[in-house]
Amino acid sequence: MYKILTLLLFFIPFIGFSQKNNKTIDSILRNADKIINDNISYSNIDTLHTDSLEVLGKKIAIIDYSAASEIDKKWMSSWENSSIQDTTSLIVEIDSLKNIVIEDLPTDTLKQRLAFLNSQTPFHVEYNPSLERIIKHYLKNRKKTLADLMGRAAYYFPMFEEHLDKYNIPLEIKYLAIIESALKPTATSRAGAKGLWQFMYTTGINYDLKVSSYVDDRYDPIKSTEAACKYLSKLYNIFNDWDLALAAYNSGPGNVSKAIRRSGGKTNYWNIRHYLPRETAGYLPAFYATLYIFEYADEHQIYPKNVLSNFFETDTILVKQQISFEQINRLLKTDKKLINFLNPQYKLKIIPYVKDRNYTLRLPTFMAGTFVSNEEMIYAYAKADDAKREKPLPKYFEASNRIRYRVRNGDYLGKIARRYGVSVSSIKRWNGLKNNNLRVGQRLTIYPRKPMASSSKSTKINKQAISKEKYTTYVVKSGDSLWLISQKFPSVSVNQIKNWNNIWSSNNIKPGTKLRIY
């Protein structure tokens, strides 16, 4: 595998099409075959092959890195098959744990190791029976999960450490993301916190993590790590203690301040733990236990599982045009799940292009080079592909036909939809309505199927026309319904009966009611 990867990396600089921005698609087409044939040796022909795709009526050679794709698939498969599930939580009720005897970890040995860790960190890593119970609980019941977490950590920890160092934050805080999300970038809590660092919506917005219909920056590993560093720095400046800063990160500064007051002014985490919310009471012990096991993994024969990060360097590309994951996968022949994993912030699997916003695409390094080399062709393909798709609004939805309708007393969506010959779902979509509720005076944007001078004038004309026609008066009997009545008259529908008799609220009618049937 090392040999295959080395060969790939050697040939990649030569495989891409012309990198000059002023090259046209025609020139790329003319040179594609020559560049590929001149720079691929026959000994590696199984490692690399080409496919073709039509762009704007022309055949484009697309490169498929077969061996590299196999690495991608194995890597993603290993993550999916890991023992870590969405519901995995390392926070446990310490007081309910039983004492566990582990022969190769007597209490005296644990005390010595914790004392050593304490000398290496600004955290208060001090021995106490509660911490011993949770460490031994992990060693007995969570070894497999911890091994998988170590495999994930090999991918994320270097990035975490770079940002923590930038903000002069203890590097041990990287273990906090394990407690928060089990290192799953799309983790979502029951309370709505999201991402590796579990930001709530409001807190995320305060730290420049933008959320839109397309993008949620809380899922972005780099942006969320930057935000976590800023937030943790602020919390440390408030409490001047990293233990309390982490407790505040979990439950909020207010809960920590209340716990300090209720404890009589004590500021050591272990002295205020029972005054904190239940989850926070187990939060720091879980952090310390994870820190201990990661640092002494070899002594307990716990080794990282599913690690392929040595083969897996990534790079980012600034996107210059809207493009979908589907289009990228189709062009670069990569694994779908890989693009999803590397770019978790894009909720709709579409990378938008917005002026003055920098949206990036993260790819394996060798693939990023191919993307940049073929950027002009890739965007041309995406544009042509989008042009073929069905447009959301037909011609009669042009802006010139748009009207603004003011909701009146007695209006409801079905009534308004019938008036303008459109569907209820269309009105809801045009106006961003999440339910059918309307309020008097509310303004609605409507694109009628037929332009209308004014709704009041149209209604008046319709009523005048109807009044000149002959009608039959029908008296409602017990057991009647509008549908049964409509069946008694040829070519009469329920909606017509309702319109003729101004029945809007429901289909229920009382015996004795007189209905006009035209």
Per-residue pLDDT, 208: 92
Per-residue pLDDT, 315: 87
Pair (111, 186) in one structural domain: yes
Report yes or no on 84 lying in a domain: no
3-state secondary structure of 14: helix
Label the pairing between strands 350-351 and 323-324. Answer: antiparallel
Pair (448, 475) in one structural domain: no
Listed residue (303, 169, 141) closest to 236, CA to CA: 169
Q: What is the pLDDT of residues 233-282, one digit of tens each?
A: 999 999 999 999 999 999 899 999 999 999 999 999 989 988 998 888 88
Pair (315, 225) in one structural domain: no
Strands (E) in 45-174, as ranges, are 48-55, 58-65
The yes-or-no verdict on residue 468 having pLDDT over 70 is: no
Report yes or no on 83 lying in a domain: no
Report yes or no on 188 lying in a domain: yes
Confidence of residue 398 (pLDDT cuts 50, 70, 90): very low
Pair (44, 112) in one structural domain: no
The residue from 268, 300, 332 where one domain ends is 300
CATH number (domain holding residue 248): 1.10.530.10
Per-residue pLDDT, 401: 64
Per-residue pLDDT, 491: 66
Q: What is the pLDDT of residues 160-189, one digit of tens each?
A: 999 999 999 999 999 999 999 999 998 888
CA-CA distance, 62 to 66, in Å (whole number)? 12
Domain count, the chain: 4
CA-CA distance, 323 to 379, in Å (whole number)? 8
Pair (342, 264) in one structural domain: no
Pair (174, 104) in one structural domain: yes
CATH number (domain holding residue 426): 3.10.350.10
Pair (283, 369) in one structural domain: no
Per-residue pLDDT, 282: 83
- Domain, as residue range, for 242: 94-300
Least confident span in 41-55, 335-349, 393-407: 41-55
Pair (65, 158) in one structural domain: no
Side-chain-side CA neighbours of 166 within 13 Å: the count stands at: 12
Listed residue (510, 460, 518) closest to 482, CA to CA: 510
Q: What is the pLDDT of residues 447-459, one digit of tens each?
A: 876 444 444 444 4
CA-CA distance, 127 to 285, in Å (whole number)? 11
Per-residue pLDDT, 266: 93
Pair (125, 241) in one structural domain: yes
The residues pairing with 263 across neighbouring beta strands, listed in sequence order, are none
